[in-house]
Structure 1
Amino acid sequence: MVRQEVLPAGVAAELLARWQEPHRRYHGVTHLDDGLAVLEQLGGGDLEKIAYWCHDAVHTNSSPTDELASAEVARALLAPHLTPGEVDEVCRLVLVTVSHLPAPEDERGARVADADLHGLGLPWDAYVANLAAIRAELPGLSDAGWRERRQAFAARMLQRPHIFATEVGRQRWEVTARDNLEREVARESL
């Protein structure tokens, strides 16, 4: 069940319609709901949850264009309801999902980044199902292009000293995420 209670009146319907667009196979309502549940587990506050609602408001598989556009959607939808400082913070948190590399002292950004990446640390079968859903969102990409894209993503993640920015994320998902990414890289097809 998607948690809407943190959103100002009228904003939830607009965002939910975006999350339900027919081209979304991975970046849909399940990803939204799972990430909000993870934010709850990580102790995320209302602005973090609102940012998570907004982080994939625009999704065309074009980063960072999508995140920049999602931040603008957030600004337009939230400006009548939140203070300018709160709107700025939500937009900043949306943009953390471009790199998922918040500054060390950015606890809010760390929680949003980890909520978005937590799927990397799921059991292998769920990880593979997520990969298939992400692949389905890219029907125009050749198999070779898909493999190249995934190899580059996995390499970036595996080169980091930590995939997850919170201590809880590292404890819960780091080992499994690294195993999943290494296993994906080692396979000839996914």
Structure 2
Amino acid sequence: MNLKEQWRRFWKAAGAKGDASGPWSDLSARYSEPHRAYHTLRHIAHCLEEFEPVRAEAKDPVAVEMAVWYHDAIYDTHRRDNEERSAVLAEGTATGAGLGPGLARRVGELIRVSTHKKSAAEPDARLFADIDLAILGQTPERFAEYERQVRQEYAWVAEPDFRIGRSKILETFLDRFSIYMTPVFQDKYEKQARLNLTASILVLKGGVV
């Protein structure tokens, strides 16, 4: 099933009103913007793949899945409010589709968690955060590709500045007692994520391209 069909299935299962084509066209256009390298539909597809096996663990699976679809809908590396703007967009879409203010609020709250600046307290937020960070625990080859893609998205940043900033970001994850907040993702990705982060930080600080 391709992503468009997955979106249509989600829209119908959620009980959303109106045609699914409009929101899909908007989302696909956003995730296909030329300045994106990692935060594309490929990332959304990966998040959906990670979500499916743990869907039953979500208290509100509709909210979690909608957060997956929308959490990077607005992405501009020159700004620091992308998550907030994406949350507002998702809330508006949910409300416009008749999904109710409660669901809209929950989706927005989940998307705001994707800043990863604070530890999520609510179970669905923990699950969603882990899904978004699943990339950190992929194979060394895929993780290296991810790092190159992030660099592409920040091509406007000078190399020395990027190395400093990126290493600090990766260190915040490595410094956590546990990178992942749910047992399933801890078991699945914690060890490899720490290896990947450690290797990348060494490269960034060592000046190896």
TM above 0.5, yes or no, is: yes
Q: Aligned with 1:42: secondary structure?
A: helix
Q: Does 1:102 find its partner at 2:120?
A: yes
Contact 1:19 1:57 in 2 (8 A): yes
Q: Aligned with 2:115: secondary structure?
A: helix
Name the counterpart of 1:35.
Answer: 47
Equivalence map 1:1-150=2 (5 Å): 1-2=2-3, 3-4=6-7, 5-7=9-11, 8=16, 9=20, 10-43=22-55, 44=58, 45-61=61-77, 64-81=80-97, 82-99=99-116, 101-103=119-121, 106-150=122-166
The CA deviation at 1:107 is 1.6
How many residue pairs match? The answer is: 188
Give, in whole Å, the separation in 2 of the partners of 1:140 and 1:124.
26
Spell out structure 1 runs of 4+ moving beyond 6 A.
Answer: none
Percent identity between matched residues is 27
Contact 1:11 1:78 in 2 (8 A): no
Counterpart of 2:95, as a letter, is: A
TM-score, scaled relative to structure 2: 0.85
The CA deviation at 1:42 is 2.0
The CA deviation at 1:61 is 2.3
The CA RMSD over aligned residues, in Å, is: 1.5
Contact 1:64 1:98 in 2 (8 A): no
Rg (Cα) greater in structure: 2
Unpaired runs of 5+ residues, structure 1, are: none
Contact 1:121 1:175 in 2 (8 A): yes
The CA deviation at 1:166 is 1.1
Unpaired runs of 5+ residues, structure 2, are: none
TM-score, scaled relative to structure 1: 0.93
